[in-house]
A and B are shown apart, each in its own frame.
Chain A
């Protein structure tokens, strides 16, 4: 079983829909990242969270440390949001925390006009 699980693996939406991508993890973490990757492209860091909620434009990320769960929401989705969204966690390593990331498998989002 992977330490980081994302759902769904694939998601198709119509333009304007509200989208939610989920991430669950099974280990203690010090931070969680949401990343975006376009086909054949580079990786963009969207959020780094250790508690609560962050918002940037149409994107909202939340984390519940007790439940070991995070969600990424996209409001008013647009075809340009089509990409792979990746959840990654920074593990707590015996009190030492550094940035080595463990990744989920990614969620492929396709938004149709």
Chain B
């Protein structure tokens, strides 16, 4: 049973471009969380999704950021018109239930130049 997969592992974007980060949860997991780790800072919650639904997006910046978890395929975190301040490690975690243990992916390290 493969773990949580994230791709790409490293992503470089110029200011103004779009970044799309993908997260494939563990088999049988329908709950996905996205977290962001800014340089020299701790992890922060961004969004919680359950298949096809956004349950809590209280940690997402109001503009330029969006997330989805379609019926088929991976969860996508999309950042439009990236700025230098978006440079961070983005981790997703999946869980089999709303209050179950979370399993983290390896992260995507986004660098905005």
Contacts and interface: CB of A to CB of B under 8 A. Distances in A.
Interface of A: 30-31, 33, 35, 41-45, 48, 86, 88, 90, 97-106
Interface string B47-76: 010000001100000000000000000000
A48 B106 CA distance: 19
B105 A101 contact: no
Interface residues of B, number: 23
A40 to B, nearest CB: 8
Interface in B76-95: 91, 93, 95
Interface of B: 31, 33, 35, 42-45, 48, 55-56, 91, 93, 95, 98-107
A88 B43 contact: yes
Q: Which 5 pairs between the two chains have the least Cβ-Cβ distance?
A: A42-B106, A43-B104, A98-B98, A103-B43, A105-B42
6 contacts: A42-B107, A43-B107, A98-B56, A99-B48, A100-B45, A101-B43
B33 A100 contact: yes
A82 B25 CA distance: 28
- Label chain A's interface by main secondary structure: strand
B107 A48 contact: no
B43 A99 contact: no
Contacts of A31: 99
Given A45-B104, A97-B99, A101-B102, 13 more contacts: A30-B99, A33-B102, A42-B104, A48-B101, A86-B42, A90-B99, A98-B56, A99-B33, A99-B100, A99-B102, A103-B44, A105-B42, A106-B42
A88 B55 CA distance: 20
A99 B99 contact: yes
A29 to B, nearest CB: 12
A102 B48 CA distance: 13
Contacts of A99: 31, 33, 48, 93, 95, 98-100, 102
A103 B91 CA distance: 13
A98 B107 CA distance: 22
Contacts of A105: 42
